[in-house]
Chain A
Amino acid sequence: MSSLVTTTIPQNRLPRSRRRAPNALTYAALFIISFIIVVPLLWMLLTSFKTDFDAINAPASPIPNPFTTEAYSTLATGNLPILRWFANSLIAATAQTAIILVTASAAAYALARLDFWGKKFVFGLIIATLLVPGVIFLIPNYLIVDQLGWLDTLWAIIVPGSAGAFGVFFLRQFFISLPSEIEEAARIDGAGDLRIFLQIILPLSRPALATLAVLSFLANWNDFIWPIYVLLSPENLTLQPGLSVLQGTYSTHFGIVMAGAVIASVPVLILFTLAQKQIVESVATSGVKG
């Protein structure tokens, strides 16, 4: 309709909106990219329902023929304690998330809402470590964890990683944005810092705390380099180093290896589906704020 106008009187053309109207080509491109992203993941899922024979002999067809859950039962009853790894991953990721929520929120409260001696220095110190690559801490932390008697235990997976600067930084930004009126009213009523923190700041920050919880859980669940070096006995592994062992043990039994990968993916994919919006938004704005 408006195109009629523009073709007849081009010099009066209306300025086009910033967000261009999509054409078929835009959708075609988006569907092709989605296809490239999704197909390998579907292939993993479908291969995990193949027989050993089928997985090796019909690599070009993703459809299981016959459909079987034998890879999963082999994993559940085999020599490798994958259910134990699953439990270990769950315990470690949950425990670390809890520690991060408690320690980071308290620290962020002090940095965002209190004035104190050395505040700039403490904050600077914490932020500076955000940019230091993890490899710097790998060997010294291995020795520290060894000294603490934590090698080959879940403590090594839970505690050191909870010292990350990200949680403090993330919550501080949120706490700073909260209005100070309610807090001041509470102070006049004689509330102390602990009560203000527990009864005002934390309840107001539920969305930020939930986002941090999800991000922390994902990071711990997916960590790879640290657990492959500090966890040693087969029964003490978490899922990610476990997958590495699985690949070594069942190198060409692809159905079994894919079943292991599916088991390691399901919890994070469920979490992602539930908290998709929060995860994507918090990551998206990290660049705009930083």
Chain B
Amino acid sequence: MADSSTALVNRTRSRGGTRPRAAAAGRRSVTAYLFLAPFLIIFAVFVLFPAVYGAWISLHVWNPLIDNRPFVGLQNFIDLFTPDSLTFEDFWESMRATGIFVVGSVPLLLAIPLLVATLLNRKIKGGTVFRAVFFAPYVLGVAVISVLWRYLLDPQLGAVNAVLGLLGLPSDTPWTVDVPWAWISLIGITVWWTLGLNTVILLAGLKGINPDLYEAASLDGAGGWQKFTHVTLPGLRPVMTFVVTITLLSSANMFGQSYLITQGAPGTQTRTAIMYIADQGLGQNQMGAATAMSYVLFAILAAVSVLNFRLQRDNTK
């Protein structure tokens, strides 16, 4: 890397100077773009263009079945912040559902994996087997784990209530059809499904902490808890920032679990933002309004991510 970057500097300095060099640089650029071309073509068509196209759609009343798609400026966005508009209540109800899910799932998806990673970081036999077992549900798709839990948690016919009944516990809990149970189910299932992902990332972080720091803390007379708060947590901070970010984003994008397990029930209380946006845009053909919603969701997620980075950085100082 070092030589190539100096080569770059030399070339920029001599720009317009020696002609053969500039020609060679041009030829190298052509070669590089030939290598990049297959990827960049797909990337431009299905990533770059849609990002801009979506913004354009959000400025229109856009129903794909109707040829007349009037330009309405920011009206779709204004509607989302106007209490008596058609979409206001449903949109913010779905954002609230997403918010409840994020607030309920993210702390558990940090605390439980951290605990499990600490256990796995001890000198245990079969550590890689445990790690693989904890990770296994994550390789199954959301559809698989959702139809599985939809069955297990069925209030009348499911295994969970049946087993609870055998144990003499209440056997009529409406796991999938009433709040707060539906939230407990959705959060619990998601923790069960994805805890292995965060566990293996945090475990790698724990292994990266310098053991000398623990020895130094021991010599200073630090106990287990003090070592955890003064060595483990600070040492884990960069990895933790990463885990917090990916967990926040994936929880905020929750769709399949609600779609398949609660179908938004009761009423539309567990219908998440993604579920509502997808339904408005692709189910109801209100594409202008739906793309506007997706940009509002994106803006909020970006703001939360930036805030998270700031907080973690300030903590380090």
Interface residues of A (CB under 8 A from B): 15-22, 26-27, 29-30, 33-34, 36-38, 40-41, 43-44, 47, 56, 59-60, 62, 99, 102-104, 106-107, 109-111, 114-119, 122, 125-126, 129, 131-144, 146, 159-163, 165, 168, 176, 180, 193, 197, 218, 221-225, 229, 239-241, 243-244, 246-247, 252, 254, 257-258, 260-261, 264-265, 268-269, 271-272, 276-277, 279-280, 283-288, 290
Contacts and interface: CB of A to CB of B under 8 A. Distances in A.
A37 B46 contact: no
Contacts of B305: 131
A106 B49 contact: no
B50 A144 contact: yes
A218 B197 CA distance: 14
A110 B32 contact: yes
B36 A106 contact: yes
Contact of B158 (A59, A142, A165): A59
A26 B118 CA distance: 10
- Among A18, A268, A272, A286, max chain B CB count under 10 A is at A18
Contacts of A131: 249, 302, 305
A213 to B, nearest CB: 14
A37 B201 contact: no
A225 B50 contact: no
A268 B45 contact: no
Interface in B188-217: 192, 196-197, 200-205, 208-209, 211, 214-215
Contact of A129 (B47, B135, B256): B47
B242 A59 contact: no
A287 B201 contact: yes
Nearest to A102: B38
A104 B8 contact: no
Nearest to A276: B132
Given A103-B42, A115-B28, A225-B278, A287 B147 contact: no
Given A107-B40, A140-B57, A18 B28 contact: no
19 contacts: A15-B219, A30-B124, A40-B192, A60-B166, A111-B36, A115-B4, A122-B36, A129-B48, A133-B252, A137-B47, A137-B51, A139-B57, A139-B290, A168-B39, A176-B1, A223-B141, A247-B150, A261-B144, A269-B136
A224 B260 CA distance: 11
Contacts of A224: 141-143, 255-256
Contacts of B203: 284
Interface of B: 1, 3-4, 7-8, 11, 25-26, 28-29, 31-33, 35-36, 38-40, 42-43, 45-51, 53-54, 57, 64, 116, 119-124, 128, 130-137, 139-144, 147-152, 154, 157-159, 161-163, 165-166, 192, 196-197, 200-205, 208-209, 211, 214-215, 218-219, 238-239, 242-243, 249, 252-253, 255-256, 259-260, 274, 277-278, 281-282, 287, 290-291, 294-295, 297-298, 301-302, 305
Given A29-B119, A272-B139, A138 B281 contact: yes
A288 B4 contact: no
Contacts of A141: 46, 50
Contact of B163 (A60, A126, A280, A290): A60
Contact of A136 (B51, B200, B204): B51
Nearest to A62: B159
A110 B35 contact: yes
6 cross-chain pairs, A with B, having the tightest CB-CB distances, nearest first: A222-B141, A140-B50, A116-B32, A60-B162, A107-B39, A18-B211
Nearest to B44: A163
Contacts of B214: 15-18
Nearest to A282: B200
A243 B45 contact: no
Given A19-B123, A30-B120, 8 more contacts: A21-B122, A115-B32, A117-B26, A136-B298, A139-B294, A140-B49, A225-B274, A287-B243
B38 A107 contact: yes
A125 B301 CA distance: 19
Given A26-B119, A159-B46, A254-B157, A222 B140 contact: yes
A159 B38 CA distance: 12
A279 B139 contact: yes
Query: Of residues A119, A139, A247, which shows the largest number of chain B Cβ atoms within 10 Å of its Cβ?
Result: A139
A192 B166 CA distance: 72
Given A106-B36, A225-B256, A140 B4 contact: no
Given A115-B4, A116-B29, A136-B54, A265 B291 contact: no
